[in-house]
Structure 1
Amino acid sequence: MIKRYCSALLMGAVALIHGALVQAGALDDAVRRGVLKVGTTPTYVPFEMTDKQGRIVGFEVDLLHAMSRALGVELELVAVPYTELLSGLMARKFDLIGSGMTVTQERNLKLNFSDSFIVVGQTVLLHPRLAGKVASIEDLDEAGYRIATTEGTTAQAAAQRFLGAARLSSFATPEEGVRQVVSGVADAFIHDAPYNLIAMTRPENQALLALEQPFTYEPLAFGLKKGDYDSLNWINHFLNQVAQDGTYDRLYDKWFKDTDWMAEVD
């Protein structure tokens, strides 16, 4: 009887420990490990990109560095293709997604999002031959137009939604999509407004035209596994704190108002 009672107590203790581990959030794991692992695709200028030394830098990366310092841990960026971010999170290859990800209803069914840290929208870059012919996204919805987007992004989804009559092609990186327009293979490229604005400043792209008014509303946020409300709570409070103490404004000015960083990026 005593032996059975002790066994029951032991099994109960094991169950409690197991339950505690299951309920531990991603940030709790990061603190225990001493490292915050973040999945990212470093092709989204100026949010995450690779500099000439091979380091991943950018506005969102700087936010993640500030987040790691607040947690008292190191930051480890895990670079994966954009289409593998969700599966990587589910497979616990990293603790959260920090990769310029737009909050959508479809994605929100598969993961939880933090509060948005910035709102962007899709804009259009045009080949010069379309000067005077295209003044809005609606003007591109014709079978004769070839539209380039980046695979797996909300730009691709927006093109499918607004440009059903046009011929759509997707590419692995936004740089490839822009090159399609520069070379004349495509008529237009659709991507987030911050990226397109900066792409227009590059010498090889300066002949392109732009429809600068965004035609979508897209909040960007950090993504975590569903049910990790403790981590979400901490991140949301962190975002509020950096918005209030001037950290966010300082980083925003560095990446969106100054241009010094461009000389360090390929």
Structure 2
Amino acid sequence: MGWRTTASAAALAALTGVLGGGCASPGGEPESAGTDQSTADRSRLDEVAERGELRVCSTGDYRPFTYRDEAGAWSGIDVDMARDLAASLHVRATFVGTTWSTLNEDFRQRCDIAVGGVSITLERAREVFFTEPYAVDGKTPITRCENAARFRTLEQIDRPGVRVVVNPGGTNDKFAREKLHRAEIVPHPDNNTIFDQLRNGRADLMITDGSETKWQARQHPELCAVHPDQPFTFAEKAYALPRGDVDFQEFVNQWLHLRTHDGTYERIAEPWIG
């Protein structure tokens, strides 16, 4: 069979398939899956608008990005940014508390967006979409100021007798366990009080994001951030979105692009990081 005949036959078969797709089944109902397709194509943009609520997952324990006080009030750079996003969608923002170890699961089940200093990792990218980055960061030590010269390198830190405190389940925990093999890793479950372990001498240092070390050093003069502008790693901060929802991702990306260029992000961040 020549190529013209083959092409004609293929076109006829395709046309027959298209027309046949609209035929009624013996029960009288169309065989088309139009309703299911409409549901499958439904974006979180539509759901958020109809619900009148943007559900925001956050740990509430990672200043300057997110903080939840004992009375339940939320604050932080990303908290205010999430409120601005909700306002741009003409809905209210509702915050859902989570932990670093349960963040992905809670986000998938309960939220439309996750915020609060979330670092982009390949592991997380397998489960969620990320927005464009809004900040660059990396892991660096924080310790009592008199010990700052002792803990400038991983070689200095990874020694017997050195106590490194970590908050379980996050990227700090993962970094410490991957890089430190001789130092003692001391888990502390409450990230809001973890820096008290350094101040009170129950741990020697913590390795966390440079942005957090700078903020904590401003609050506690006895603590010093060790080379926060030259961290051990490279990381970017972004917001987590539902995997597969390109429409929602594109909207949030456009909002974030505008807010990081019209002065909004700088205005929100200035009280926290100067």
What is the TM-score with the length of structure 1 in the denominator? 0.85
Distance in 2 between residues matched to 1:98 and 1:158, nearest whole Å: 21
Residues 1:146 and 2:172 aligned together: no
Residues 1:111 and 2:132 aligned together: no
Moved more, 206-215 or 23-32: 206-215
Cα gap change, 1:3/1:184 in structure 2, threshold over 3 Å: closer, same or farther?
A: closer
Distance in 1 between residues matched to 2:264 and 2:112, nearest whole Å: 23
Deviations for 1:22-42, whole angstroms, at most 9, x for unmatched residues?
322223211111111111111
**Higher CA-based Rg:** 2
Paired AA for residue 37 in structure 1: R
Is residue 215–residue 272 contact of structure 2 (8 Å, CA) maintained in 1? no
Residues 1:18 and 2:36 aligned together: yes
Paired AA for residue 69 in structure 1: A
Q: How does 1:177-196 map to 2 (within 5 A)?
A: 177-196=194-213
Q: How many residues align structurally?
A: 250
Deviations for 1:135-185, whole angstroms, at most 9, x for unmatched residues?
323310112211011111211122123222211122223233322222222
Deviations for 1:78-137, whole angstroms, at most 9, x for unmatched residues?
11222222111222x111211221001111112111111211222212245635433323
Paired AA for residue 101 in structure 1: V
Tell me which residue corresponds to 1:64: 82
Paired AA for residue 194 in structure 1: S
Distance in 1 between residues matched to 2:116 and 2:148, nearest whole Å: 33
Paired AA for residue 234 in structure 2: Y
Residues 1:221 and 2:242 aligned together: no
Paired AA for residue 50 in structure 2: R
Q: How does 1:79-98 map to 2 (within 5 A)?
A: 79-91=97-109, 93-98=110-115
Q: Indicate which of 48, 55, 63 corresponds to 1:37.
A: 55
Distance in 1 between residues matched to 2:213 and 2:29, nearest whole Å: 63
Residues 1:173 and 2:194 aligned together: no
Cα gap change, 1:89/1:207 in structure 2, threshold over 3 Å: closer, same or farther?
A: closer
Moved more, 59-68 or 176-185: 176-185
Cα gap change, 1:224/1:131 in structure 2, threshold over 3 Å: closer, same or farther?
A: closer
Distance in 2 between residues matched to 1:35 and 1:51, nearest whole Å: 22
Q: Shift of residue 64 of structure 1?
A: 0.9
Is residue 112–residue 225 contact of structure 1 (8 Å, CA) maintained in 2? yes
Distance in 1 between residues matched to 2:24 and 2:134, nearest whole Å: 56
Q: Indicate which of 4, 22, 28 corresponds to 1:7.
A: 28
Paired AA for residue 207 in structure 1: E
Cα gap change, 1:117/1:51 in structure 2, threshold over 3 Å: closer, same or farther?
A: same
Distance in 2 between residues matched to 1:210 and 1:4, nearest whole Å: 70
Identity %: 25
Question: Is there any run of 5+ residues in structure 2 with no aligned partner, and where?
Answer: 1-22
Cα gap change, 1:236/1:189 in structure 2, threshold over 3 Å: closer, same or farther?
A: same
Question: Is there any run of 5+ residues in structure 1 with no aligned partner, and where?
Answer: 258-266
Distance in 2 between residues matched to 1:111 and 1:30, nearest whole Å: 18
Alignment partner of 1:200: what SS?
A: helix
Distance in 1 between residues matched to 2:100 and 2:142, nearest whole Å: 22
Distance in 1 between residues matched to 2:257 and 2:141, nearest whole Å: 32
Cα gap change, 1:131/1:37 in structure 2, threshold over 3 Å: closer, same or farther?
A: closer
Q: Shift of residue 225 of structure 1?
A: 2.3
Paired AA for residue 27 in structure 1: L
What is the TM-score with the length of structure 2 in the denominator? 0.83
